[in-house]
A and B are shown apart, each in its own frame.
Chain A
């Protein structure tokens, strides 16, 4: 095939036309989700926080009601752009298809193994926060067929949202109901300007959950809920005998959710 300057210019001209018109606009549409300025990279300021095994101790005695937990939940859900789907007149899904990373429930729902009908009225009336337990033996990691859910060396169980195929085996596997599936497009339930432009929103059809704010720890910050709790939630290294969590565990009686399953949850509750 002979190629002269004339035919080259023809092809080049056609390509420029295609790119600048139809095809160009298509590509622009595809990129709209990550338009410049929507997500900003943060320069590493503080030294990353490190631990051999991150763990959390929640002092439930210091929370009087659900209202006390609300700032924590708001902080978490804002930090991670968690959409509010429940009650949002969801045309497709129903109320139970919501996303939650940190949520509240009654004692006998949070700790169904503690079957005691005669709890104190205070405990009966109280609500307890629930989140991913970041288990030492996480069933969700065991069952995931693509390693989209994996455990970091510091004990945090986290996710690759781009590898998740949405099979929801992890949701069947998790004994704590800590996982949420994006049954509907979560971005439809977020404002145009997302609450936290530094954290990615998720796409439809993948599973998500609490990450112990691994991205904040890397920047030297405590998890959002810990920060918002004003010292009522402790976070530290379980393998360091001098850490705040170990001190709290040594001084207080604590329980964990469904410990008999052998998952070794990393979230402890002072009751």
Chain B
């Protein structure tokens, strides 16, 4: 199936060239960081994790979100999702690749990364995180490739593949739970020390991941004519809406506990994020309010069934992705480190070089995604599975 990569339009090759260009430029910035150290970032002694680890966290969620397609399709035999499962699985692979890269670029001594395997440490959550992420990558690659190959040859996929898909469902929950445990098990970081962290992570993942997928699928429809089907889009939009409502609900639970209990440690990070703390306000406050705004608008569009899948849906999805990204890709880390260990404020602002390296990693993810989706799309067109509405129209005509 790899040969599908080579049959593309000019636009496809220009896109790949563009990505390779971005990767090359950002790769140079990374080499600069490798030589000069993480001092080139905005991180500091008090805010010792920054943009890289927060992007890692966000993307683990995106990877886990493939389960929102796999679960209905394999557990509930929901046929409408079958046509686009492969895109979810391949997006998960791209997301895990980005996760691994974000960890590597964050390491002070990346050439020693394999020490994690050389000296396995069962009491460290990071050890488990490495195992579950690698496992998830492998499972998705095997299941995705096997089912696609079976689809191409118009044969049912082997039975073991089904069980592997079942495993991937449990595994998807585990990767994001373990990632939440990275934070939720740390004493003394008030914003992270909360039992609901894993649930928040999952709910945020299950709305933002499918939203990104749906946006990309809509783009794909415009670019290539691949149509996931009206029913599938509607179902996915409903799933996204429920998950986003849960996400907001869980966040509000945090807000209640923090402020009603009146315990200063619990409320300080929230106060810092939304209003500034002890007279110090940072750029992140504006972002947090943008996230609130995005959340309100996107839920207004999505909750109303008349507008959920209408022309405003892409806008709602973009706002949803932006809102959840600000919450998890910025606020989570900054709120965790501010106020710092001495209840003081150390501000964090990512540097241009740090942002460049992050863009480079995203470009690698985009490249992996483009190549994998190109293969999937090639197979879909070859066997004629590119219109999700096809069966429905025939059905409607029959009635």
A interface residues with partner B (beta carbon < 8 Å): 90, 92-94, 96-98, 100, 105, 108-110, 112, 115, 139, 142-148, 163-169, 171-177, 180-185, 203-207, 258, 261-263
Closest A residue to B43 by beta carbon equals: A183
Q: Are B130 and A166 in contact (CB under 8 A)?
A: no
List residues of chain B with CB within 8 A of the CB of A98: 45
- Complex Cα distance, B36 from A50, in Å, reads 41
Query: Which of B39, B45, B126 lies in contact with A90, CB distance below 8 A?
Result: B39
Give me 29 A-to-B residue pairs in the complex whose CB atoms sit less than 8 angstroms apart, sorted by A's number.
A90-B39, A93-B40, A94-B42, A94-B44, A96-B47, A97-B43, A97-B45, A98-B45, A105-B342, A112-B342, A142-B123, A145-B124, A145-B130, A146-B118, A165-B108, A165-B110, A165-B112, A167-B106, A167-B126, A169-B124, A169-B126, A169-B182, A175-B187, A177-B46, A180-B45, A183-B38, A183-B39, A184-B39, A261-B187
Q: Using an 8 Å CB-CB cutoff, how does the interface string of B254-279 with A read, 1 for contact, 0 for none?
A: 00000000001000000000000000
Contact: B49 with A168, CB < 8 Å? yes
B395 located at the interface, meaning its Cβ lies under 8 Å from any Cβ of chain A in the complex = no
Residues of B near A204 (CB, < 8 A) are 37, 108
- Which of chain A's residues has its CB closest to B340's CB? A177
CA distance A258 to B188 in the complex (A): 9
Out of B38, B109, B188, name the residue touching A261 (CB < 8 Å).
B188
Does residue B115 face the partner (Cβ distance < 8 Å to A)?
yes
Q: Which 4 A-B pairs have the closest CB atoms?
A: A166-B108, A205-B108, A175-B188, A93-B39
Query: Which among B107, B112, B127 is the interface contact of A163 at CB below 8 angstroms?
Result: B112
Q: Which residues of A contact B40 (CB under 8 A)?
A: 92-93
Nearest CB of chain B from residue A144's CB, rounded to whole Å: 6
A93 to B50, CA, bound (A): 14
Contact B108 A163 (CB under 8 A): no
Q: State the Cβ distance, A124 to closest chain B Cβ, in Å.
A: 15
Residue of B nearest to A86 (CB): B45
B307 at the interface (CB under 8 A from A): no
Q: What residues of A have a CB within 8 angstroms of the CB of B340 in the complex?
A: 177
- Once the chains are docked, how many angstroms separate the CA of A148 from the CA of B118? 12
Cβ–Cβ < 8 Å partners of B185 in chain A: 143
A146 to B119: give the CA distance in the assembly, Å: 5
Q: Quick check: is B341 within 8 A (CB to CB) of the other chain?
A: yes
Please, how many angstroms separate the alpha-carbon atoms of A93 and B43 in the complex? 9
CB distance from A157 to the nearest CB of B (A): 14
- Complex: A145 Cα to B103 Cα, angstroms: 13
Are B36 and A92 interface neighbours, CB within 8 A? Answer: yes
Contact A167 B107 (CB under 8 A): yes
Q: Which residues of A contact B49 (CB under 8 A)?
A: 168, 171-172
Q: Which residue on A lies nearest to B193, using beta carbons?
A: A261
**Chain A residue contacts of B126, Cβ below 8 A:** 143, 145, 167, 169
Q: When the two chains form the complex, which single residue of A96, A112, A181 contacts B38, counting CB atoms closer than 8 Å?
A: A181
Which residues of chain A are within 8 angstroms of B119 by Cβ–Cβ distance?
146-147, 163
In the complex, are the beta carbons of B343 and A166 less than 8 A apart? no
Interfacial chain A residues near B115, Cβ < 8 Å: 145-146, 148, 163, 165
Tell me, yes or no, whether B344 is within 8 Å of chain A by CB. Answer: yes
Once the chains bind, are A97 and B123 in contact (CB under 8 Å)? no
Task: List the interface of chain B (C-beta within 8 A of A).
Answer: 36-49, 103, 106-110, 112-113, 115-116, 118-119, 121, 123-127, 130, 182, 185-189, 264, 336-337, 340-344, 346
Chain A residue numbers with a CB within 8 Å of B106 are 167-168
Given A145-B124, A205-B38, A261-B187, are A109 and B343 also a contact pair (CB < 8 Å)?
A: yes
Residue of A nearest to B348 (CB): A96
In the complex, the answer to whether A164 meets B109 with C-beta atoms within 8 Å is yes
A110 touches B108 (CB 8 A): no
In angstroms, Cα B33 to Cα A204, docked, is 11
CB < 8 Å: which of A108, A163, A175, A185 contacts B341? A175
Contact A177 B45 (CB under 8 A): yes
User: Please, which residue of chain A has its CB at the minimum distance from the CB of B106?
Assistant: A167
* Inter-chain contact B107/A166, CB cutoff 8 Å: yes
Q: A96-B44, A169-B182 are in contact. Are A115 and B107 (CB under 8 A)?
A: no
Cα–Cα, bound, A174→B45 (Å): 12
* A178 CA to B119 CA, complexed, in Å: 24
Distance in Å: Cβ of A181 to nearest Cβ of chain B = 6
In the complex, which residues of chain B have a beta carbon less than 8 angstroms from the beta carbon of A163?
Answer: 112, 115, 119
Task: Name the distance in Å between B130's Cβ and chain A's nearest Cβ.
Answer: 7
Least Cβ–Cβ distance between A206 and chain B, in angstroms? 6
Q: A109-B344, A142-B123, A205-B107 are in contact. Are A165 and B48 (CB under 8 A)?
A: no
Query: Would B123 and A177 count as touching, CB distance under 8 A?
Result: no
By the criterion CB–CB under 8 Å, are A173 and B186 in contact?
Answer: yes
Cα A108 to Cα B110 in complex, Å, equals 37
A146 to chain B, nearest CB (A): 4
Are B107 and A165 in contact, with the CB atoms below 8 A?
yes
Contact of A182 among B41, B42, B108, B189 (CB under 8 A): B108
Nearest-neighbour CB distance to chain A for B263, whole angstroms, equals: 11
Contacts of B130 in A (CB 8 A): 145
Q: Given the interface contacts A143-B124, A145-B121, A177-B342, does A206 sit within 8 Å of B109 by beta carbon?
A: yes
| Chain B residues in 8 Å Cβ range of A166 | 38, 107-110, 112
Neighbouring A residues of B121 by C-beta, 8 Å: 144-147
Q: Taking the nearest CB of chain B, how far is it from the CB of A171, in angstroms?
A: 4
Given A96-B44, A185-B37, A174-B341 contact (CB < 8 Å): yes
